[in-house]
Homo-oligomer: A and B are copies of this chain.
Amino acid sequence: MNPVQFYKCLADDTRLRTLLLIVHEGELCVCELTAAMDLSQPKISRHLALLRGADLLQDRRQGQWVFYRINPALEGWAKSILQETLQANRHFIEADLRNLIQMGDRPLRATLCC
């Protein structure tokens, strides 16, 4: 993973918030990200496609939803930098997390299903 490519992915408000939210929550679907950040679906979708194309994110379809998580194959230093960025900048996604908690009808994860 080229470090410049990696940092280009982080150098955008929507993408960085998306990544930090996913690091914090483990896995999120598009509708949850839309609700958390209060942004249009196409906008989020386009940025997710970019992050997936750069191999930072992995997607998993479950029913009608597509869940995104950090690509487990991402190099260690890159994962570590995402973690460190979150720890030092929790305030950056504070409001988004509040929106997420207040969101009604959040889709259930497979792990919570029977």
Contact = CB atoms under 8 A, between A and B. Distances in A.
A92 B6 CA distance: 13
Interface residue SS majority, chain A: helix
Interface stretch (A8-16, A21-29, A34-42): A8-16
Interface of A: 3-4, 7-8, 10-13, 16, 75-77, 80-81, 84-85, 87-89, 92
Interface pairs A-B: 9 shortest CB-CB:
A77-B88, A11-B11, A7-B10, A7-B11, A8-B11, A3-B89, A4-B13, A7-B7, A4-B16
Contacts of A13: 4
Contacts of A8: 11
Contact of A12 (B4, B76, B92): B4
A88 to B, nearest CB: 3
A63 to B, nearest CB: 33
